Structure formats: structure tokens, C-alpha cells
């Protein structure tokens, strides 16, 4: 079972910051998920659409300037760019799941993705691009046929497997609250992985393993690794 450090090791360090990425690597975790937004054409690693709750700033992240973003922090940590995070992670053997948040335009990501492969030498199979925006995924996959993409689903999505099929997705990313055996079995029968978010509780981790899921996103990846080892 693959254990993704969710927003970096966000149970231990401010989420989606370099500190959270470094913590995940220090814990020996080799799969990391984080979220990105487009700010004036530069991609930044941050979860919320608003800055208010998780940073010292305020406003909609995609409507502030880069200069403003560089003046605020997340519990004392700067908001990193995608490039800064990827440059660091490229020095470690690591599966990276980049989640595209509500970006107005996919263009900055279309520009940077090939550079992650050519300039930072990250193997395409170590890059998994996910989003709730399935239109973005379809466009991206069309441009980069060798890329790995994954649709995210929030609620009970009866069309999840057919959506994943149409997108030729590598994996389905499903919410813990709505997971069921049928969807897992069908996805795997079609050759897809099933990854579930966000899973921190021991019983849930064990239950998902029994259901045969391929991986989880967790804020405490070391704990999940220990639970899977001892139980
Ligand atoms: O990618 C899995 C998970 O991160 C999706 O939800 O809101 O935590 O980005 P969220
Ligand atoms: Mg996410």
C-alpha cells in the first residue's frame, strides 16, 4: 500500500510548505501529495482558495500578486513555488502527486510540466497529476499522452469508473467517506489503482487494506507505515 504524505507531512509541519516536504522525506516517506494554485502565471503550493485561514495573509490566492504572496507566511514558513518544491523532491526518489486546484488557466502548468521531466530529470511515472477539475485533466493528458493522471471525486460518484476510463487515468482518488468495495473492484479490474483521502485513523487504515485499496493520503505517514507493519 502506497502511503502519500498529504500536503507534505502536514501532521507535523505547516501544510504544503518546504518544512512539510522535508519532514516527509526525513520520515522515510517516498510518496508526497500537495496542491497548487496559479498566481500571476507562477504556480504556488497552497491548499485553500482563500489565504485567510491558513496563512498570515488574506484574500483569494489567485487574485493577489506574487509580491504580496512573498510577504506572507504559513506559521512562519514561506509559501513555496511548485518549482522550489519539485527541485527539492527531485533530489529524492519520490512519487509526487501534484493536485491542480481551481486554476483559471492550465497554461502555466502546461509550460512547467515538461521542464520537470527534462530539467529536473523526474521520471514521468513518478509524477501523478490529479484534480477535481476533470476538464483540466483531459486537456493535460491530450498534450502529454505519457503522463499519469487521476480524477479526484468528492461524494458518491456513480460515474467514477467510466470517467476514469474516458480519461485513461492511472488511478482514481476517492474520499474516505464514500468509498465502497464495488468501485474499488471495478477500478482494479480495469487496471487502475485506487487511492483514498484523507486517512489518519488506525481502523480506517486497516479497513482500507482489507478492501484492497492501493494507497492512502495521510497527514501522519509514519504512523500509517507503522500501523501497516504491526497489524
Ligand atoms: O489529493 C487528495 C486530497 O488532497 C484531496 O483533497 O482538499 O485535501 O486537497 P484536499
Ligand atoms: Mg490535495
- Take residue 172 and report the three cell numbers written for it: 482514481
Q: Which residues line ligand 1 (CB under 6 A)?
A: 6, 33, 35, 47, 99, 130, 152, 173, 197-198, 217
Q: What is the pLDDT of residues 37-75, one digit of tens each?
A: 999 999 999 999 999 999 999 999 999 999 999 999 999
Note the pLDDT of residue 103.
Answer: 81
Please state the rounded mean pLDDT for residues 118-130: 97
The answer, yes or no, to whether residue 150 has pLDDT greater than 80, is yes
The answer, yes or no, to whether residue 156 has pLDDT greater than 80, is no
Q: DSSP H helical segments within the chain, as ranges?
A: 18-26, 66-70, 82-89, 107-118, 134-143, 160-167, 181-189, 202-211, 221-230
Identify which of 99, 131, 151, 177 to mutate to test ligand 1's pocket (most ligand atoms within 8 A of the CB).
99
Alpha carbons 31 and 221: distance in angstroms, whole number: 9
Note the pLDDT of residue 104.
Answer: 83
Note the pLDDT of residue 158.
Answer: 81
Please report, for the domain that includes residue 86, its CATH number. Answer: 3.20.20.190
Alpha carbons 170 and 113: distance in angstroms, whole number: 17
Note the pLDDT of residue 132.
Answer: 96
Note the pLDDT of residue 41.
Answer: 96
Alpha carbons 86 and 193: distance in angstroms, whole number: 24
Note the pLDDT of residue 32.
Answer: 98
Interface predicted TM-score (ipTM) of this complex, two decimals: 0.99
Please state the rounded mean pLDDT for residues 165-183: 96
The answer, yes or no, to whether residue 168 has pLDDT greater than 90, is yes
Note the pLDDT of residue 155.
Answer: 82
**Considering only 18-27, 36-45, 124-133, 150-159, which range has the smallest mean pLDDT?**
150-159
What's the gap in Å between 230 CA and the centre of ligand 2?
Answer: 28
Please state the rounded mean pLDDT for residues 76-80: 98
Q: What is the pLDDT of residues 91-118, one digit of tens each?
A: 999 999 999 998 889 999 999 999 999 9
What b/e string do you get for 109-118 counting C-beta neighbours within 10 Å, with b at 16 or more? beebbeebbe
What value does the mean pLDDT of the chain take?
A: 97
Domain count across the chain: 1
Percent of the chain with pLDDT over 90: 95
DSSP 8-state secondary structure symbol assigned to residue 61: G
The answer, yes or no, to whether residue 9 has pLDDT greater than 90, is yes
Range of the domain at 114: 2-230
- Ion ligand 2 neighbours (CB, 5 A) are 35, 99
Name the β-bridge partners of 97. Answer: 33, 128
Note the pLDDT of residue 102.
Answer: 82
Amino acid at each position: 500500500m502506497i502511503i502519500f504524505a498529504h500536503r507534505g507531512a502536514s501532521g507535523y509541519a505547516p501544510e504544503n510548505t518546504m518544512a512539510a516536504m522535508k519532514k516527509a522525506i526525513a520520515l522515510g516517506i517516498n510518496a508526497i501529495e500537495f496542491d497548487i494554485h496559479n498566481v500571476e502565471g507562477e504556480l504556488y503550493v497552497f491548499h485553500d482558495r482563500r489565504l485567510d485561514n491558513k496563512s498570515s495573509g488574506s484574500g483569494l490566492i489567485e487574485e493577489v500578486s506574487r509580491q504580496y504572496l512573498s510577504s506572507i507566511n504559513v506559521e512562519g514558513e514561506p509559501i513555496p513555488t511548485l518549482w522550489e518544491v519539485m527541485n527539492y523532491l527531485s533530489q529524492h526518489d519520490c512519487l509526487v502527486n501534484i493536485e491542480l486546484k481551481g486554476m483559471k488557466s492550465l497554461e502555466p502548468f502546461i509550460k512547467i510540466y515538461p521542464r520537470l521531466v527534462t530539467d529536473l530529470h523526474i521520471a514521468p511515472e513518478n509524477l501523478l497529476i490529479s484534480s477535481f477539475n476533470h476538464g483540466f485533466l483531459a486537456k493535460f493528458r491530450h498534450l502529454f499522452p505519457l503522463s499519469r493522471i487521476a480524477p479526484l471525486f468528492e461524494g458518491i460518484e456513480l460515474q467514477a469508473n467510466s470517467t476514469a476510463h474516458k480519461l485513461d487515468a492511472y488511478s482514481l482518488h476517492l474520499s474516505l467517506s464514500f468509498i465502497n468495495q464495488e468501485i474499488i473492484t471495478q477500478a482494479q479490474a480495469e487496471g487502475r489503482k485506487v487511492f483514498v483521502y484523507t486517512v489518519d485513523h488506525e481502523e480506517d487504515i486497516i479497513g482500507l487494506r482489507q478492501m484492497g485499496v492501493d494507497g492512502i493520503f495521510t497527514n501522519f505517514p509514519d504512523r500509517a507505515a507503522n500501523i501497516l507493519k504491526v497489524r
